[in-house]
């Protein structure tokens, strides 16, 4: 059967040979960071995955085709066009395919493409979650439902406190998604190394994570796994300062009545302005840090596969 996912020859060969591949998302490129830092970061993250011994597969919808692996020219096109490219989550894929359009894939949509392609590890910055005030707005990211149903490990720096982190973790628990902390007992809060909420399990090596993934999926459990990797200490931002920026950004979003899929990109851009670019620098470093760990785990996962999937 023809794969519904178009792969670059490099990604296809790596998957056929059972080598390590790490999926990367494209919403972070088109909606999560400004140009040209988005382009520099996307290329640096790919390089980091390669240095870790894995093949990077940046995922997107390109002219109506689900793609795992983009050319440098396509990454540049997405980076330059930025927010004019549709932000694509699960509900958007059918529309984009049927109309032959481009889409920058969120965590949810990237998990779908990775799973269809046979990629198990995916690195990003932060996952979507239950928004603050969700009891009134019902704003819960489709990323969480995807984690509930799609067997891909998502390497992130936790969740931002633009979200209700406690409710996000409750939601993941309800849907059977293990939340692993890499060398930490405490779920990280993106810019900060700790949120005050515990992870499900602490893991101290890439091999231990790979073994857990193999055991989880080996049981036929079909959910995703969150691997939370704290931002490296030198780049972590002061909790009070960033909280102030987040509170201000949330108030601005309410005043300007921003909602739906626009909300997360609006908050990210506003926090960047309010921190004078510090949040962007932190964001870039934590994505690279996650790519490094994802490559190590993908490598350990691939080499532990010798007895067969």
| CB nearer to ligand PSU: pick between 76 and 272 | 272
Q: Is 103 in the site for ligand PSU (CB under 6 A)?
A: no
Q: Is 25 a catalytic residue?
A: yes
Q: CA nearest 24: which of 44, 10, 4, 9? A: 44
Q: Least distance to ligand PSU from the beta carbon of 79, Å? A: 13
Binding residues for ligand PSU restricted to 48-67, rule: CB under 6 A: none
The DSSP code for 88 is E
Please say which residue, 27 or 223, places its beta carbon nearer to ligand PSU: 27
Task: Using CB under 6 A, pick the residue from 15, 32, 54, 250 that binds ligand PSU.
Answer: 32
What b-and-e string marks burial along 97-133, b requiring 16 or more CB atoms within 10 Å of the CB?
Answer: beeebbbbbbbbbbbbbbbebbbbbbbbbbbbbbbbe
Q: How many CB atoms lie within 10 A of CB 220?
A: 7
Is 160 catalytic? The answer is: yes
Contact assessment for residue 55 and residue 49, using Cβ atoms and an 8 Å cutoff: yes
CA 18 – CA 5 distance, rounded (Å): 17
Which residue, 60 or 300, has its beta carbon nearer to ligand PSU? 60
Counting Cα atoms < 13 Å in the Cβ hemisphere of 169 gives 22
Among 6, 23, 27, 66, contact with ligand PSU (rule: CB under 6 A): 27
Q: Which does 96 bind (CB under 5 to 8 A by kind): Mn ion, ligand PSU, none?
A: none
CA angle 105, 107, 112 (to 5 degrees): 75
Binding residues for Mn ion, rule: CB under 5 A, are 139
Question: Is there binding between residue 132 and ligand PSU (CB under 6 A)?
Answer: no
Round to whole Å and give the CA distance between 163 and 167.
9
Nearer to ligand PSU, 260 or 307 (CB): 260
How near is the Cβ of 53 to ligand PSU at its closest, in Å?
25
Task: Name the helix (H) or strand (E) containing 86.
Answer: strand 86-88
> Residue 8 or residue 26: which is nearer to Mn ion going by CB?
26
Least distance to Mn ion from the beta carbon of 164, Å? 13
Host H or E run for residue 110: helix 107-117
d(CA 258, CA 251): 10
Least distance to Mn ion, CB of residue 166, Å: 18
Tell me the site size for ligand PSU, rule CB under 6 A: 16
Rule CB under 6 A: say whether 186 interacts with ligand PSU: no
Q: Any idea which residues carry the catalytic annotation?
A: 25, 160
User: Where do contacts with ligand PSU occur on this chain (CB under 6 A)?
Assistant: 25, 27-28, 32, 106-107, 125-126, 128, 141-143, 160, 261, 264, 268
């Amino acid at each position: 059967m023809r794969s519904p996912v178009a792969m670059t020859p490099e990604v296809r060969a790596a998957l056929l040979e059972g080598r390590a591949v790490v999926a990367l998302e494209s919403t972070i490129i088109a909606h999560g960071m400004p140009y040209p830092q988005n382009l520099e970061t996307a290329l640096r993250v790919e390089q980091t995955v390669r240095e870790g011994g894995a093949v990077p597969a940046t995922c997107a919808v390109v002219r109506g085709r689900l793609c795992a692996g983009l050319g440098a020219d396509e990454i540049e096109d997405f980076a330059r066009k930025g927010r004019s490219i549709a932000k694509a989550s699960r509900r958007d894929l059918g529309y984009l395919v049927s109309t032959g359009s481009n889409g920058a894939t969120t965590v949810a949509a990237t998990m779908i493409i990775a799973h269809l392609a046979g990629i198990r590890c995916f690195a990003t910055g932060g996952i979507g979650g239950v928004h603050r005030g969700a009891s009134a707005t019902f704003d819960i990211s489709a990323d969480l439902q995807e984690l509930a149903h799609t067997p891909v490990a998502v390497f992130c720096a936790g969740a931002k406190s633009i979200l209700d982190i406690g409710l996000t973790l409750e939601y993941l628990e309800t849907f059977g998604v293990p939340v692993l902390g890499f060398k930490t007992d405490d779920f990280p809060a993106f810019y900060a190394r700790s949120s005050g909420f515990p992870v499900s399990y602490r893991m101290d090596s890439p091999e231990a994570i790979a073994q857990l993934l193999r055991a989880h999926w080996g049981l036929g459990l079909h959910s995703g796994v969150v691997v939370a990797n704290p931002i490296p200490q030198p780049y972590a931002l002061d909790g009070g300062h960033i909280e102030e920026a987040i509170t201000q950004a949330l108030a601005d979003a309410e005043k300007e009545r921003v909602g739906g899929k626009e909300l997360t990109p609006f908050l990210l851009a506003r926090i960047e302005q309010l921190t004078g670019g510090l949040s962007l620098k932190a964001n870039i470093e934590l994505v690279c840090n996650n790519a490094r760990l994802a490559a190590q785990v993908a490598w350990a996962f691939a080499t532990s596969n010798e007895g067969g999937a």
